[in-house]
Amino acid sequence: MTERSRVQGRAARALLGASAAWLAATAVPALAATDELTLYTTREPALIQPLISAFSAQSNIKVNTVFVKDGLLERVKAEGARSPADVLMTVDIGNLMDLVDGGVTQPVKSAALESAIPANLRGADGQWFSLSLRARVLYADKNLPLTSFRYEDLANPKYKGKVCIRAGQHPYNTALVASLIAHDGEAKAEQWLRGVKANLARKATGGDRDVARDILGGICDVGLANSYYVGQMKSAKEGTDARKWGDAIKVVRPTFANAKSGGTHVNISGAAVAKNAPQRANAVKLLEFLVSEPAQALYAQTNYEYPVRKGVALDPIIGQSIGELKVDPLPLTEIAKYRKQASALVDKVGFDQ
């Protein structure tokens, strides 16, 4: 069974339980869809289909999903006022802010969205909303005596030749560097990048799961990666490579050295209502559904992500391996404004060379 089919199967099982509970609670008649909306998404349809199916079952609104791997902003701009897009969904705060800055979104005022999503995880003017969270955490050799970690520690010379990480220009890492700029200033962020580069056990490349793979292989001891990959690896079939990688690591939630209230850096999946949405009311209904308790439970169960809504149970693997998340309270908009500086710094220090 492939990784994708395994995820799809898991999603289907979660959908049956969660959507059944939702339908029972809301007592919606099983009628044919009488309305519709169009969703443009950079997220693989298989990962969000359980949520879309549950929404359609609850609302009788058909969702036309259009997967746009690259060039979402350019496409919506080119379509202009004739664009059929009602909701725009991305898997990175930078890409979501590009849509806002590009003028293809519109503000939404919704008590349901504002009560479910903390203020630091949505646009102050209602232009965008977080739907789920993925923490940038430390993967470490399970035998290392580590119980706490600061992001800044990754540049400590004691980790020379012991660090693995994917490319610095990947959005997951430029978002982290932008956070470091916001917290510590550009000069210290550059110093950190140079320190991490000096500590690399191999070139900054590959994916997040490759960090766990290389820890198992003895290439490195620590590295940064996203939290949801832990669920994917540790839920894999016994004896598979992915399961071996997951079993080789432990996970620590890092914090920033000078952040008074602590908290771990997160990136998001998020969405906005398109500027020229033909079905604006339905678009808002979809966003409100996606932050409801049943939908947030689906995010946790199918994708191993952290719910953005408080009080929703984590997937057991994430709960046991990582635990409850304390999010860095710095507003994502404050972080996102340093994205270009972060990218320039990565190139300046030759991090990916």
User: What residues are designated binding site?
Assistant: 228-229
- The whole-angstrom separation of Cα 312 and Cα 315 is 10
Q: Which amino acid is at 76?
A: V
Residue 218: is it exposed, middle or buried by C-beta count within 10 angstroms (0-12/13-18/19+)? Answer: exposed
Paired residues of 137 in beta bridges: 225
Which stretches of 60-139 are DSSP H helices? 72-79, 93-101, 111-116
Helix axes 293-303, 45-59, angle to 10 degrees: 160
Cβ pair 84, 278 in contact under 8 A: yes
Q: How far apart are CA 39 and CA 43, in angstroms?
A: 11
Q: Which residues are annotated as a binding site for Fe cation?
A: 228-229
CA angle 84, 18, 238 (to 5 degrees): 105
- Which three-class secondary structure state does DSSP give residue 17? helix
Token pair recorded at residue 102: 């590009």
